[in-house]
């Protein structure tokens, strides 16, 4: 959905949502429409407020529309960067979670770099995931240092998954009964996993399996 009317039609389906939340979401669409015509800091703050909301319908509307504008508008890019330094952990989480490839790499790096040191483990875990999503390999030394220093289980889980994916392009996890390995690769928007039997486990087979999974093909 890229037009205000498309968003309004989508929001009109949520008739059971509390009226004040639905009104906030519609206000975000109005702000998006106004900002599409040109920058306005006061109106932008209304969109940022929606993007920082703890309520799903409101923040999904606000975040998607803010990022859509930020693909071409520097003031919206700056707003996302400011969100990543907010006193509100929800705003900081949304700033890193809704990054996408349409945004300048410098902005993505700035937000992720800051989020890796965030006081919220939820934000740190998302930053680890996004570092891998955007192939920020120059962050690998820092991520590997985090494995030794991190204390929160959710961040350690994210590191255990995403560091190998970023470093090697895949993750191998042995089945406890010794029957083989689970192979995981990252593809745009998803992770793909398949099982390799122990008797077929060779470097050449792993390499071939990685290529098949990245293409979305099933392993024989």
Q: What is the pLDDT of residue 111?
A: 98
Same domain flag for 176 and 156 = no
Chain centroid to Cα 14, Å, comes to 25
Same domain flag for 215 and 202 = yes
Domain edge (last residue) among 152, 167, 182: 167
Same domain flag for 156 and 204 = no
Same domain flag for 109 and 201 = no
pTM across the whole model: 0.88
Same domain flag for 217 and 182 = yes
pLDDT digits (tens, 9 = 90+) for 53-76: 999 999 999 999 999 999 999 999
Domain edge (last residue) among 129, 152, 167: 167
Number of domains in the chain: 2
The Cα–Cα gap between 34 and 148 comes to 48
| Domain interval for residue 187 | 169-220
Same domain flag for 37 and 123 = yes
Each as own residue / partner, the long-range contacts of residues 35-41 (CB below 8 Å, 24 or more positions apart, any chain) are 35/69, 35/73, 35/76, 36/4, 36/69, 39/73, 39/75, 41/75
Q: What is the pLDDT of residue 183?
A: 86
Same domain flag for 140 and 162 = yes
pLDDT digits (tens, 9 = 90+) for 164-175: 999 988 888 888
Q: Is 190 helix (H, G, I), strand (E, B) or coil?
A: strand
Same domain flag for 90 and 198 = no
């Amino acid at each position: 959905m890229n037009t205000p009317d498309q968003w309004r039609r989508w929001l009109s389906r949520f008739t059971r949502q509390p009226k004040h939340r639905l009104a906030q979401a519609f206000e975000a669409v109005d702000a998006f429409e106004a900002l599409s015509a040109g920058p306005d800091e006061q109106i932008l703050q209304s969109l940022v407020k929606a993007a920082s909301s703890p309520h799903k319908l409101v923040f999904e509307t606000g975040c998607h529309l803010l990022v859509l504008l930020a693909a071409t508008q520097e003031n919206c890019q700056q707003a996302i960067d400011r969100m990543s330094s907010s006193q509100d952990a929800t705003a900081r989480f949304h700033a890193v979670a809704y990054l996408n490839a349409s945004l300048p790499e410098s902005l993505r790096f700035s937000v992720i770099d800051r989020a890796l040191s965030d006081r919220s483990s939820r934000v740190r875990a998302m930053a680890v995931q996004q570092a891998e999503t955007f192939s920020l390999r120059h962050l690998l030394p820092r991520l590997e240092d985090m494995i030794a220093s991190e204390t929160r289980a959710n961040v350690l889980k994210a590191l255990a998954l995403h560091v190998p994916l970023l470093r090697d392009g895949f993750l191998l996890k042995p089945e406890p009964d010794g029957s083989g390995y689970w192979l995981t690769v990252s593809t745009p928007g998803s992770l793909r996993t398949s099982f390799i039997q122990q008797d077929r486990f060779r470097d050449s087979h792993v390499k071939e399996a990685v290529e098949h999974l990245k293409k979305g093909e099933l392993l024989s």
